[in-house]
Amino acid sequence: YSAVDTNPLSLYVMHPFWNTVVKVFPTWLAPNLITFSGFLLVVFNFLLMAYFDPDFYASAPGHKHVPDWVWIVVGILNFMAYTLDGVDGKQARRTNSSTPLGELFDHGLDSWSCVYFVVTVYSIFGRGSSGVSVFVLYLLLWVVLFSFILSHWEKYNTGILFLPWGYDISQVTISFVYIVTAVVGVEAWYEPFLFNFLYRDLFTAMIIGCALCVTLPMSLLNFFRSYKNNTLKYNSVYEAVVPFFSPCLLFILSTAWILLSPSDILELHPRVFYLMVGTAFANSTCQLIVCQMSSTRCPTLNWLLLPLFVIVMVVNVGVTPYVERILLFTLTAAFTLAHIHYGVQVLQAHFHEGKYRRK
């Protein structure tokens, strides 16, 4: 496992904090259990906010707002999940139990956490006159997803995982904003903070700005440094960009569904649609992580995109709103089960390989 972390916040604040926290955990506690616990906290936040804000209208003027205590719980649990994500690797090194499975488990769950984290944050502003439209949030979700996969694309080509700066900054900032929201109320975000620039605009600008001004330039810089040093794993441009094929096709197909939808499916069921996209993305990312760890070629296309393609074709022909809703919910459930099944298969392969080596 080769990783480089140059983020000042991480190096000078979070790592010393995590070094202190990890000493609290008993040495018998498995690092993978710490990783999974952090992931469950993120999912719990998603489900909690789905209960109090199912359609992302709770923060809009004239609607029943999310109770203040919910924001406090979500803020604390988000920071706890972030802390556990930073501590699990230290626990593995502390107990001399670092394994390739731990790396895959950590980063694989991180890829799935992207959608849960972003969609939960959306409830701070929601949609409506003071919020962000569900389509804009859909595009922002993709900015986050592509920012995440960039780091693993780097490692796939360079052999080194350059940890993105945006992750630590966003986790600390959002945890703080959740608590502030409980204190000042969502009404505080209605007012412009500078001239006519609203807080929702700041939210959008921060995500896009971090991706375009920090994550993308640093990724390209690290890639070209490896190119100049002649340390790239793949000399062919085609092989170097293969990991982007499935995510890009997923973006094209899901966007086509939104634009062709006869019932405006994203407006009706945004939370489920985001989950469908995020889960399919996580599966493609996990396949990339397995390939980068095993030095094997990344699959050109993810088979999960086939049923999505079929549904987009069916929607284009024309279906009733009821049928389209059933298609979305069924596909989301199928993607979730398929992704879990993929994870189980990887675990079984890992343990089988371990038994084979011991023999």
Question: Catalytic amino acids?
Answer: 107
State the CB neighbour count (10 A cutoff) for residue 358. 6
What's the CA angle centered on 250, arms 259 and 306, to 5 degrees? 100
In what helix (H) or strand (E) does residue 118 lie, and over which residues does it extend?
A: helix 100-122
Locate 291 and state its tokens: 């390939």
Entry field: residues in the chain: 359
What's the CA angle centered on 96, arms 95 and 101, to 5 degrees? 105
Q: CB within 8 A of 307, min separation 6: which ones?
A: 331, 334
User: What is the rounded radius of gyration, in angstroms, for the C-alpha atoms of the chain?
Assistant: 21
Locate 178 and state its tokens: 């959740």
**Alpha carbon distance 112, 80 (integer Å):** 17
Residue 284: which region, alpha, beta or left (left: phi > 0; alpha: psi -120 to 50)?
alpha
Locate 42 and state its tokens: 């993120």
Whether 284 and 303 have beta carbons less than 8 Å apart is answered as no
Whether 179 and 72 have beta carbons less than 8 Å apart is answered as yes
